[in-house]
Amino acid sequence: MRHEISILIIGLFVVLSTASVTAGILSMRAPKPLSATLVNLTQRINAWWVMVALMTVAFFFGRYGMTILFALISFAALREFVTLTHSRRSDHWVLLGMFGIVIPFQYWLVWTAWYGLFVIFIPVYCFLLMPAITALHGDTERFLERVSAQQWAIMISVYCVSHVPALLTLNVPGFEDRNLLLIAFLIIVVQGSDVLQYIFGKLFGKHRFSPNVSPSKTWEGLIGGLVASSLLGALLAFITPFSPLQASAVAFVACTMGFLGGLVASAIKRDQGVKDWGHLIEGHGGMLDRTDSLVFAAPIFFHIVRYFWTV
Amino acid sequence: MSKLSLRTYTLLQTVTSVGLSAMAWAVTGVRPIWSGSEPSDRQRIYFANHTSHGDFILLSACLSETERAKTHAIAAAEYWGKSRLRRFIAQDMLSSVLISRTWTSEAEHPISIMLSVLDQGHSLIIFPEGTRNTSDELLPFRSGLYNLSMARPDVELIPCWIENMSRVLPKGQFLPVPLLCRVVFGAPVVVGPGEERRAFLHRARAELLALNPRPDRDD
C-alpha cells in the first residue's frame, strides 16, 4: 500500500504545483486589478493545498485519522445546515442531540463496524424519535418544516458523510488492509470531477444545464468533467480492487451522483436565499460547498463496492 | 492589591479571555463583519442586541487581544451579583462591570459607574434593551446610551448586530448549540445638534436593526 500512497501523494503534488504555477502566470499576465475569477481561482488552489495536506495527515493516522476527520467534517457540515434552516426555541434539545449524540454515536458505529445499526440508526431511529421529541415539546408552529429540516440536516451531514470512513469496514477479498485506498479513490475521483467540471465549464461552457438552480453548471462542463473523471478513475484502477473498465464505470456513477449532489445543494441554498453555505474554506465557501458532491457519491459508492466486491 | 495577586489576577483574565474567544470560535465560527466602521484603538461604546449570556463573549471575540483587555461589558448586578460564584465569574474572570437596576445611592447610579470606566480610558459593551430579549422584535432602548454620549461626546458609539445567538444559547438554557454566528459592526452613531433623547434612541435602534444581515428570518 505504501507504494500506491507515494504515487498518489506525488501525483497530487504535481497537479497542485501545476495549478499554482498556471494561476501565477495567468495572474502575472492579466491586467490589474485582477478579475474576481482569477482571485477566486488562486484562493481555491491555495485552499486545495491545505485540504490535501490535512487529508494526507489524516491518512497517515489510518482508521483513527479518517474516523475523526470525517466526524469533524460532519460537525462543520451540520452546523452550516442547521444555521441556514428554520428552527425555534423549543428545538434546542433536539438540535443539541444532533450534535452531541447523533454524530458521536454514528461514528462510533463506523468505528466498531456495526453495519446493521450503522445503516438504520439515522433513517429509522432518529427519523422516528426526533419528531416525537419535537411533538412532546408541544410547539406545532411550522412543525413539518422544522422536523424535515432536522431530518435533512442529519441525513446529509452525518449519515451520508459517515459512509466515507465506513468504507474501511468493508471486507473485499484480496484487498485486505488496503481499504484506505478506496477512500482515496472516491475522494480523488469525485473532487477531481468537481474541478474538471469547473475547468471544462470555464473553458467551453455555453449551454446552461439548469439556469433556475445553478447558473454556473453547463452541459459542456458536465460532459467534459464526467468523461475526464471516468478516465481518471480508469487511471487509478491500480489502487483499487477494480479492473480499469470497472473503475471508470464506478467513477462515472460516483461523479454523476456528485453532480446531482451539487445540484440539490444549490437548490437548497437558492431556496434559503444564500450563495454559499458558509465561509470556512477561503474561495470555496463552507464545508458543504466543498463536500456536497461527496455527500451524494459516498453512500452509492459504498453500496456498489459492498454489493459487488465483498463476500 | 499586592504585586503577586495583581499578576495572578491579570493572568486569570487573560487566560479566560483567550479561552472564551477560542471556545466562541469553536462553537460558532464567529466572524466580524466591519460594515461602516473599522477595528480601531479609539475609545468606544459598542451597543448590541441582547438575547443570550453569550452575546458579549461573541462580541469581544471579534476584537483584538489588546482591545478586549480594555473593553468591559456592562452586566446586571441583579443577576451577576447574586452569588459569590457569579460575581467572581462576572467581575474577576470576565472583567465586566456590574450595575444595579434598582440603585439607591448616587455612587450606585449606573451612569456614574459607566462614566468612571470611560474616564479610565476604557471601552464599554452595553445592551441598551436593558435585558435579554425573548421576543422577535428589538425592544425599545433605555436612555443610558444617550446620557453617556451627551456626557462623553468624544467616545464613538458603534452599533453591533449579533446574529443567531438567540438560537445558540437561548435564555434559560445552559448548553450551546453550535451554529454559525456573525457580528456586524456598523457606522458610528452620533447625537445630532439639538437632537432630543427619544428621537436619538429611536434612530440608534433603527441603525442597529438595519445591520441585521437576514431581516427576513423570523426565528
C-alpha cell at A123: 433513517
The answer to whether A278 contacts B216, with C-beta atoms less than 8 Å apart, is no
Q: What pLDDT is attached to residue B90?
A: 87
Report H helices in chain A.
Answer: 2-29, 36-60, 62-84, 92-97, 103-111, 115-118, 127-137, 143-154, 161-166, 180-204, 219-235, 244-272, 287-309
What does the block give as the cell for B101? Answer: 437596576
Residue B219 maps to a domain: no
CA distance B205 to chain A (A): 24
User: pLDDT digit string (tens) for A233-253?
Assistant: 999 999 999 999 999 999 999
Q: Which residues of A touch B214 (CB under 8 A)?
A: 273
Residue B216 falls within a domain, yes or no?
no
- Identify which of B134, B177, B217 has the shortest CB distance to residue A95: B177
The answer to whether A280 contacts B177, with C-beta atoms less than 8 Å apart, is no
ipTM of the complex: 0.87
* Domains contained in chain B, number: 1
* Chain B residues within 8 A of A80 when measuring between CB atoms: 180
Give the N- to C-terminal CA distance of chain A in Å, as an integer. Answer: 22
Q: Is the CB of A92 less than 8 angstroms away from the CB of B29?
A: no
Contact (CB<8Å) B175/A99 = no
pLDDT of residue B215: 79
Contact between A273 and B31 using a beta-carbon 8 Å cutoff: no
The answer to whether the predicted template modeling score (pTM) of the entire model surpasses 0.80 is: yes
Q: Is residue B218 domain-resident?
A: no
- Sequence letter at residue B19: G
**Chain A CB contacts of B219 below 8 Å:** 86-88
The residue ranges of chain B whose pLDDT is under 50 are: 1, 219
Choose the closest CB to B179 out of A79, A86, A280: A79
Instruction: Report yes or no on B132 lying in a domain.
Output: yes
B146 Cβ neighbours under 8 A, 6+ residues apart? B191, B197, B200, B201, B204
Average pLDDT of the residues of chain A: 95
The CA dihedral of B107, B111, B116, B118, to the nearest 10 degrees, is 170
List chain B residues with CB under 8 Å of A96: 175, 177
Residue A294 · residue A191 · CB < 8 Å:
yes
For testing contact with chain B, the best of A89, A90, A139 (most B CBs within 10 A)? A89
Mean pLDDT value of segment A101-127: 98
Residues of B at the A interface, defined by Cβ within 8 angstroms: 29, 31, 134, 164, 166-167, 170, 173, 175, 177-180, 214, 216-217, 219
Closest CA to B141 of B76, B203, B218, B52: B203
Q: Average pLDDT of A131-142?
A: 95
pLDDT digits 0-9 by tens, B119-132: 999 999 999 998 88
Q: Which residues contact B139 (CB under 8 A, 6 or more apart)?
A: B129, B130, B131, B133
Identity of residue A247: A
* Model confidence pLDDT, tens digit, residues A43-68: 999 999 999 999 999 999 999 999 99
Min distance A103 CA to chain B CA atoms (Å)? 13
Residue B74 structural domain: 3-209
B42: domain CATH number is: 3.40.1130.10
Confidence (pLDDT) at B3 = 60
Give the one of B134, B177, B178 whose C-beta lies nearest to A92's C-beta.
Answer: B177
Per CB-CB distance under 8 Å, the chain B contacts of A83 are 164, 179-180
Across the interface, do A278 and B178 touch by the CB < 8 Å criterion? no
pLDDT exceeds cutoff 80 at A196:
yes
Q: Are B108 and B114 in contact (CB under 8 A)?
A: no
Instruction: Give kind and range of the element (H or E) at residue B219.
Output: none
Residue at B215 is within a domain = no
Is B118 inside a domain boundary?
yes
**C-beta atoms of B167 and A87 within 8 A:** yes
Interface of A with B (CB under 8 A): 75, 79-80, 82-83, 86-89, 92, 95-96, 99-100, 273, 278-280
Tell me which chain B residues have a C-beta less than 8 angstroms from the C-beta of A75.
Answer: 178
Measured distance CA(B13)–CA(B26) in Å, rounded: 20
Q: What is the arithmetic mean of pLDDT over A103-121? A: 97
A273 CB neighbours in chain B (<8 A) are 214, 216
In chain A, what residues touch B54 (CB-CB under 8 Å)? none
